[in-house]
Amino acid sequence: MRATKGAHSARYWAQSAHQWAEKASHETTGQRRMGKGVSNAKSHAAAPAQATHRVHVNALTFRALSEALFNISVHEHVTCSPRRLLTKVLTDPDNHIFNLSVNELEDICNADALIGTIRLNIRIDSIVNDRLREFREYAEAQLGRPASVLEAINACIYVTNRN
């Protein structure tokens, strides 16, 4: 009796997995995350475009990020996320990030010193991503070499912790 029950259970899970895979192939990733089927695709079309940055940071960079998030949270009396931090710094009307000196950029923008094993996924609006790209171009012009997304994120952390 037990062997029959186990075989039935395995067959049930195999059928369920097949049905789930077939359903998933008809949905987009965003719809699956939202728990929505294909029929609701039109309702999500008006959402602003976003970009996701997947970076690996070391413990020191993660600690600096945590400190920056804490500082903003205390200052604004709301919980701050990495997304809010980047939005705040990159859309700042005073453009503090674009006023960094070459010496500061050389200290901040060192990808080898920032990369580690802690994985971060940061989703930002495309407008903020455009500003991040502008900063990377600015840093490239100042440093004479390309600046990575991680280096740009570290610059945002630096500006937040400095102020």
Whether residues 91 and 37 fall in one domain: no
Using a cut of 0.75, tell me whether the model's pTM lies above it.
no
59 and 117 belong to one structural domain? yes
Domain count, the chain: 2
Indicate if 75 and 121 belong to the same structural domain: yes
Segments in 26-148 forming alpha helices (H)? 29-34, 59-76, 82-90, 102-108, 111-114, 126-143
- Based on the domain organization, do 32 and 54 belong to the same domain? no
pLDDT per residue, tens digit, the chain (163 aa), is 455 555 454 454 445 444 544 554 454 444 444 444 444 444 455 667 888 888 899 999 999 999 999 999 998 888 888 889 889 999 888 888 899 999 999 998 888 888 889 998 888 888 899 999 999 999 999 999 999 999 999 999 999 988 7
Range of the domain at 8: 2-41
